[in-house]
Structure 1
Amino acid sequence: MDDEQLMRGRVYGADHDDPDPGPRRGREYRELVAGPLDGLLLDVTGRSAEELRDGAALPTEIGAYGGGGRACYRPRAGDPLRWDWAGDLP
Structure 2
Amino acid sequence: MDEADFMRGRVYGADHEDAGPRPDRAYAQLVGGPLDGLLLDVTDLGADGPREVALITEIGRYGAGGRALYARRAADALRFDWRGDTPGAP
% same residue:
65
Write the mapping of 1:3-82 to structure 2, written as runs, cut at 5 A: 9-16=9-16, 18=17, 20-52=18-50, 54-82=51-79
Answer whether contact 2:60 2:67 (CA < 8 A) is retained.
yes
Moved beyond 4 Å, runs of 4+: none
How far 1:48 moved relative to its partner? 4.3
Q: Deviations over 1:50-72 (max 9, x none)?
A: 434x2210000000000010001
Tell me, in whole angstroms, the C-alpha distance in 2 between the residues paired with 1:48 and 1:82.
13
Correspondence for 1:89: 86
Larger fraction in helix = 1
Gaps of 5+ in 1: 1-7
Tell me, in whole angstroms, the C-alpha distance in 2 between the residues paired with 1:79 and 1:48.
13
Comparing 74-83 and 27-36, the one that deviates more:
74-83
Tell me, in whole angstroms, the C-alpha distance in 2 between the residues paired with 1:14 and 1:49.
22
Correspondence for 1:3: none
* Length-normalised TM-score, structure 1: 0.79
